[in-house]
Amino acid sequence: MQLLVVLSALLALSASHVIPAGSEDDAIPTIPGDNSHYVEGKSRYIWMPDGEGKPVLVDLHEPVDKEFLNTRNGANNAYWLFTRRNPNNAQVIRINQPNTIWGSNYLGSRPLKVIVHGWRNNGNTDMNPLITSAFLAVQDCNVIVVDWRALASAGYGTAADGVPSVGQHLGNFLTWLINTAGGNWNQVHLVGFSLGAHVVGNAGRQTGNRPARITGLDPAGPSWGNNANRLARSNGQYVEGIHTDGHLLGIFNPVGDADFYPNGGKNPQPGCWESTCSHGRAPQFFASSVRTNHFVGRGCNNVWQAELGTCTGASFNMGNGIVSKRGSGLYGLRTGNSWPF
């Protein structure tokens, strides 16, 4: 009897991240929790993390909810300001309401950092305070966290379809903010994770590619491989990509002037056992880099060398918060398996 109980428990555990078998055409297939089944551009189903990092099964063929997009789009963006005077309590700034700026701690003379979350996340998701606190620890700056949960909470396909609108509204907000209360585009750094990486790309494009720096943290891969609205090197003065779950939840191919491939740029990252964890390493690596700037990449001749981690070229640091940072090429490096990596 005890043996039967143990066997039942083991079977339940092994099936915890698996969907019943079937054909992709007429039923939901067996889906391993580590996304080892996934083939870019071919597979229909993939596991993605929600705001708490829990895996959610996504059907990439699910129709876009156009009616939802009519009421939930970039116009619903919320903009939360944090400074050293209010490092933990957000001050909400509303576009075309200048009194919300005058009553805040925003100063146009400070550098401006903007952080954008991904799918099923919101302004309170862990990555936002993690990166915000890192920026404020090393520099007196304005940090704006963009909360676009109204759309990010939709199905993946619908949220992805609405990304350009979210980015365009963000670009318009930043233009209004700087024109109204001061600021310098040469001091603007946009940071986006997953779908948020494509949001900041669209925001940069909307402003005429004026931000000094854009950082894409494992830019979302599914539905974005050949998407004209994805993050691109032309979206800012300097665009950097950090890839941690390439070929699965993240894009593997270069997206910026400089692209970094820590630990080969794909799953499993050190300390991770599945794709959702590796995807989430990108904002963690970035926050750590802002605080200590200790990740040193070596130049790669091509993306395959980056994947193998056999790069031996010139050194260039990954991440950090230096807005005047400039560079180009592909870079590989190794990290530890826990903070600060």
Q: Which residues are catalytic?
A: 194, 218, 279
Q: Which residues of 96-129 are buried (b: 16+ CB within 10 A; e: fewer)?
A: eeeebbeebebeeebbbbbbbbbbbbbbebbbbb
* DSSP notation for 128-186: HHHHHHHHHHH---EEEEEE-HHHHTS-HHHHHHTHHHHHHHHHHHHHHHHHHH---GG
Q: Please tell me the distance from the alpha carbon of residue 186 to that of residue 325, in angstroms, as a whole number.
A: 11
The angle formed by the CA atoms of residues 273, 275 and 280, to the nearest 5 degrees, is 100
Q: Which residue, 112, 135, 121, is CA-closest to 56?
A: 121
DSSP-based three-state secondary structure for 92: strand
Report the Cα 261 to chain-centroid distance in Å.
15
